[in-house]
Amino acid sequence: MADLLDLAQRFVRAYPDRRDEALAALNGAIGDRLEAADSALALRMQLFYGARPWALEDPPIAVPNARPQACLFVHGLMGSERAWRFGVGAAQDEGPRVDYGPVLAAERDQTPVYVRYNSGRHISENGRELAEKLAQLHAVWPFEELSIVAHSMGGLVTRSACHYALEAGHAWTDSLRRVFLLGAPSRGAPLEQLAHVTAFTLDSIWNPWTKLIGKAIKLRSAGIKDLRHGFVLDEDWRHHDADRLAFPVPARPRDPAHVRWFIAVGTLGQPGSPLSATLGDGLVRRPSARGASLDPRARELLPPAEVQTFASTGHMALMNDRAVLEQLLEWWQST
């Protein structure tokens, strides 16, 4: 573990101008181990607000100039609150990237709130903590309406947070009106599934080099391993050997009954193309983003939702794409 921590320190020092991004990536890769070692490199969950955004106290004391409507942005694996503005203002082949928060503040009268979390932890651990953070926030700012925009792993963390908030009886769930899932792998991520099969196969071959590579691949974080099947609850992983070759179905979390759900699906090419069918948006395939499965045990993992597919839109582009933003605004208008 000492060698791993030393390597982590070197990794962060190698990117002094991009320390926040390096820390976010590092936590996604080995954040569970950093937390277990009580390392200063382990990110703690923190809330930010406003278009800038500004860090809130922990626990929050007040939210200056807050409106009655809050919109929470939940990033994905290896991300942070800064991920929503990555590439904004830079020239792109698909057109300029946009920052959703300020637009929703201006056009839908929202106060943007962002969460930063250690994406290497189990998704259920982050979900439970997010439920508590929102309860603390709601105590000092009793927002009348809450919307959540969640990308990738953030969608799973959001569903986990809703479940544990309902279990705990947190009042903020009564204010939750709409949830937007952008490329959330509700039935798992194929790249993580491929990594799992590769690691299992290499470690099973009686060859010291292939076994070494297989064990190195297995070092990926608990959060990454949860992505394989879309685990969102403690019971999904607590009695499950994450390195065993198996294909379990995650438990269905509790969802607030009054909430409207919306799903944005990206594809690398046209929706019906072989490329899109195989790779989806590059990380999440269309059936997984929609919660669809041939397994009868997994056909109702998601509540009823409106779904929109965005052609030639990769996984990360879902966070700041003009067409996705226009769809968010349209969905908002319908509710």
Do both 31 and 60 map to the same domain?
no
- For residue 78, the model assigns a pLDDT of 87
215 within some domain? no
- For residue 92, the model assigns a pLDDT of 61
Do both 36 and 55 map to the same domain?
no
Do both 36 and 118 map to the same domain?
no
- For residue 231, the model assigns a pLDDT of 92
pTM of structure: 0.88
Do both 1 and 146 map to the same domain?
no
CATH number at residue 237: 3.40.50.1820
Do both 107 and 121 map to the same domain?
yes
In the chain, how many H helices and how many E strands? 13, 8
**Residue 7: count of CB within 10 angstroms of its CB:** 11
- For residue 214, the model assigns a pLDDT of 37
200 within some domain? no
Do both 51 and 29 map to the same domain?
no
Query: CA nearest 182: which of 264, 259, 278, 291?
Result: 264
Do both 113 and 27 map to the same domain?
no
Do both 27 and 64 map to the same domain?
no
What would the pLDDT profile of 19-38 be if each residue is shown by its tens digit? 888 888 888 888 999 999 99
Amino acid at 7: L
Query: What residue numbers bound the domain in which 30 lies?
Result: 1-40
Domain total of the chain: 2
Can you state the angle between helices 190-204 and 208-217, rounded to 10 degrees? 150
300 vs 202: CA distance, rounded Å: 34
235 within some domain? yes
What are the phi and psi torsion angles at 69 (to 5°)? -110, 130
Do both 148 and 239 map to the same domain?
yes
Do both 116 and 34 map to the same domain?
no
Side-chain-facing half-sphere of 285: CA atoms under 13 Å? 20
Do both 48 and 66 map to the same domain?
yes
79 within some domain? yes
78 within some domain? yes
205 within some domain? no
Do both 145 and 286 map to the same domain?
yes
Q: Are strands 54-55 and 46-49 parallel, antiparallel or unpaired?
A: antiparallel
Low-confidence ranges of the chain (pLDDT < 50): 192-217, 245
195 within some domain? no
75 within some domain? yes
